[in-house]
Amino acid sequence: SIVDRLSVPHRGPVPFSVEFLPPRDADAEVRLWRAVRTFERLGPAFVSMTYGAGGSTRDRTVRIAGDLATQTTLLPVAHLTAVNHSVDELRALVGAYADKGITNILALRGDPPGDPLGEWTKHPEGVEYAEELVRLIGDLGDFHVGVASFPEGHHRAIDLDHDTRTLVGKLRAGAEYSITQMFFDVDDFLRLRDRVHRADPEQGGKPLIPGIMPITSLATVRRMAELSGSVIPDDVQERFAAAAGDGAEENREAVRAVGIDFATEMAQRLIAEGVPCLHFCSLNFAKATSEVLERLGVDARSAMPAASH
Ligand code: FAD
């Protein structure tokens, strides 16, 4: 399980993990596998594969998560969302993961397809909240379930206390750890950690894994922040804007360099704060994340041993 993997003694500064997306087409799949092989040499604690909004990307998530389990030395975590699925379908999907040797699942509610910030409607025979999905998976067998957490609070939460109760509820329902939404202010992460500890010290002892996305272009960061509802603090925006310059064309090299610096600084502070793992949203590219890892002193010599599935 992920918790077991995170308790293996490691030689590097901190364990890390990588999130991949289901590729859109054959070319994107080639690129994904190139990134997978690059990260494999660095020995991540686990890798995760997100679950798409519908149709073929969903099938690809199941297929590729299975390939990660059988064709690599990596420990895959398959994401699963409740969007447009009946309980029967969710059960069948968990079974499909199990058939491929996947027992680590990240249980999510998901967002309304099309407009992530739009109105949520549950499938008539589905589940309303991620907590129900955690229980459903737990009832199906020997699975290890993780959930999402939100340093700035989930955009639908009434307030931060409500958001904390949601997370604690998912952990009490059996989730073994959580991975956060990407964020840009380490203090938000630390405040979330404190809130969970205060609300329930036992659940607060479970790994809270920070999600980091190295920013390589202003457009990407704006789009990702819009989709997730994350806020980019003004001083961070200014730092990137200064690097981009005021010419008609964004100074892409300078933006990228600031992005690598910024992600490295965040990671260093998180390591000093004792986080159990750093989870990198790679967008299926290895280069930026590898550069950050190199700056942190993570290399093939500090790699974790291969996972036994
Ligand atoms: P929940 O925990 O169900 O919470 C949803 C909302 O309901 C929150 O506002 C919460 O406060 C509220 N709530 C929960 N329980 C109750 C209750 N009992 N009473 C009242 N209100 C309640 N999306 C994808 O589509 N595919 C992915 O692969 C994917 N991977 C992700 C990975 C990570 C690490 C993260 C952080 C997010 C990911 N998402 C993914 C996005 C996620 O699905 C959305 O952020 C979604 O809006 C929230 O999902 P959740 O599992 O946190 O939902």
Write down the pLDDT at residue 309.
59
pLDDT in tens, 156-187: 888 999 999 999 999 999 999 999 999 999 99
Whole-number Å distance between alpha carbons of 293 and 287: 10
* Residue 300 predicted with pLDDT over 80: no
The answer to whether 12 and 306 are in contact (CB under 8 A) is: no
Burial class (CB in 10 A: 0-12, 13-18, 19+), 254: middle
Burial class (CB in 10 A: 0-12, 13-18, 19+), 226: exposed
| 3-state class (DSSP) for residue 119 | coil
- Give the Cβ contact number of residue 115 at 10 Å: 9
Percent of the chain at pLDDT above 70?
Answer: 99
Write down the pLDDT at residue 272.
97
Tell me which of 19, 131, 132, 291 is the catalytic residue.
Answer: 19
Ligand 1 pocket test: pick from 17, 81, 108, 284 the residue with the most ligand atoms within 8 Å of its Cβ.
108
Q: What is the pTM of this model?
A: 0.95
Tell me, in angstroms, the distance from the centre of ligand 1 to residue 111's CA. 7
Q: How many residues does the chain have?
A: 309
* Residue 145 predicted with pLDDT over 90: yes
pLDDT in tens, 87-140: 999 999 999 999 999 999 999 999 888 787 788 889 999 999 999 999 999 999
Ligand 1 atom at minimum distance from 170 CA: 2
Q: Which two tokens stand for residue 66?
A: 């299975």
Please give the span between the terminal C-alpha atoms of the chain, in angstroms, as a whole number: 9
Q: Give residues (CB < 6 A) around ligand 1.
A: 50-51, 79, 81, 108-111, 129-131, 148, 154, 156-157, 162-163, 166, 170, 179-181, 211
Whole-number Å distance between alpha carbons of 240 and 221: 10
* 19 flagged as catalytic: yes
Write down the pLDDT at residue 259.
93
pLDDT in tens, 196-245: 999 999 999 999 999 999 988 888 777 777 776 777 888 888 888 899 88
Least confident of 13-22, 150-159, 262-271, 298-307: 298-307
The answer to whether 157 and 109 are in contact (CB under 8 A) is: no
pLDDT in tens, 17-64: 999 999 999 999 999 999 999 999 999 999 999 998 777 788 899 999
What stretches of the chain show up as alpha helix (H) in DSSP?
A: 2-7, 26-42, 55-71, 87-99, 130-140, 160-172, 186-199, 201-204, 218-228, 234-244, 252-272, 287-296
Pairing mode, if any, of strands 208-212 and 46-49? unpaired
Tell me, in angstroms, the distance from the centre of ligand 1 to residue 42's CA. 30
Structure-token match 């360099």, residue found:
257
Tell me, in angstroms, the distance from the centre of ligand 1 to residue 31's CA. 28
Tell me, in angstroms, the distance from the centre of ligand 1 to residue 216's CA. 26
Q: How confident is the model at residue 306 (pLDDT cuts 50, 70, 90)?
A: confident
Whole-number Å distance between alpha carbons of 143 and 248: 52
Write down the pLDDT at residue 308.
67
